[in-house]
Amino acid sequence: MTLLAEDGDTVGIAVADLLPNSVAHLNVIYVVPERRRQGLARGLLVELASRARAAGGDHVTLDVDTSNEAGRAVWQRLGFREWGLRLSTPLDELERRLGPAEAGESRASLHVQTDDVDAVKAAVAKYLPRLGGSGGSVSEPHNGWTTVTADLLDRDRHALGRLASELSNATAAVVCTLALEDGRLVRYVLYERGSVVDEYQSVPEYYGPIPPGDVVALSANATVVARLTGADPARVRAVARTASSPDELPPAPELLQELAELMGLAG
């Protein structure tokens, strides 16, 4: 449905679709700059509402940019309210994330700050199957850390976190997870008494926009890392940097290895 406001020439236009769910969706409404604030847009909307009503419609929808505060205020004064969310992403970003899984390697390891290998093996045997995993490998201690690996942990970071929390509780030890995701992202999480005490993600918004506070929270806390692992705080700050893109950091496998070394973990 196309509506025109004319005064010799066309001075305004409204374009809408009448949808089968009793909704008229307003795609475009425009008035030439020199004829604005003369009621033309209002007249177009009145006619739109009339025609939508005659066609059996009972709602009008439209899209407005979330950054357009003035525009949002105008529509809200006319009774429009938010009821949905339209998301946007650059094509380059979408194509990167839709790329083949084999394009980027994902692997993870879990490190328990204890020499009691038998206690770690018992806890892994108890909790890993509950998360849908099987097998798993528990290494001999290295620098006071016992390392756990399993196929499930490589592909499911939520299972990795849950197992780390359970092992931290079961062994009363500090636990650190270390992961490479998509071959481009590096993460670590430190647990104490079953709770997360520090979390790092090399690209905080790799999986999409997050609140500013969460961006800050995904930066390494050098003081906590030093207390729990013995790492040099200055070295932590130098290595565990964050960026808006993986391309702004060292290659992720190298960054992973550096983090492992500064914490004394098996790489």
Domain parsing of the chain, residue ranges: 2-77, 102-263
Q: What is the dihedral of CA 124, 228, 218, 171, to 10 degrees?
A: 20
Report residue 261's pLDDT band, with 50, 70 and 90 as the boundaries.
very high
Name the DSSP letter for residue 116: -
The confidence score (pLDDT) of residue 33 equals 94
The answer as to CATH 3.40.630.30 being correct for domain 2-77 is yes
The confidence score (pLDDT) of residue 102 equals 46
The dihedral built from the CA positions of residue 45, 51, 57 and 58, taken in this order, carries a sign that is positive
Does the predicted TM-score (pTM) go above 0.75? no
Name the DSSP letter for residue 249: S
Task: Report the pLDDT averaged over residues 105-127.
Answer: 95
Q: Is the pLDDT of residue 187 over 50?
A: yes
Q: Cβ–Cβ contacts within 10 Å for residue 185, how many?
A: 21
The confidence score (pLDDT) of residue 101 equals 42
The confidence score (pLDDT) of residue 84 equals 81
The confidence score (pLDDT) of residue 135 equals 84
Q: Is the pLDDT of residue 100 over 80?
A: no
Contact 80, 24 (CB under 8 A): no
Q: Is the pLDDT of residue 155 over 60?
A: yes
Report residue 134's pLDDT band, with 50, 70 and 90 as the boundaries.
confident
pLDDT tens digits along 8-21: 999 999 999 988 87
Q: Is the pLDDT of residue 173 over 60?
A: yes
Distance separating alpha carbons of residues 129 and 157, to the nearest angstrom: 15
Task: Report the pLDDT averaged over residues 220-245.
Answer: 96
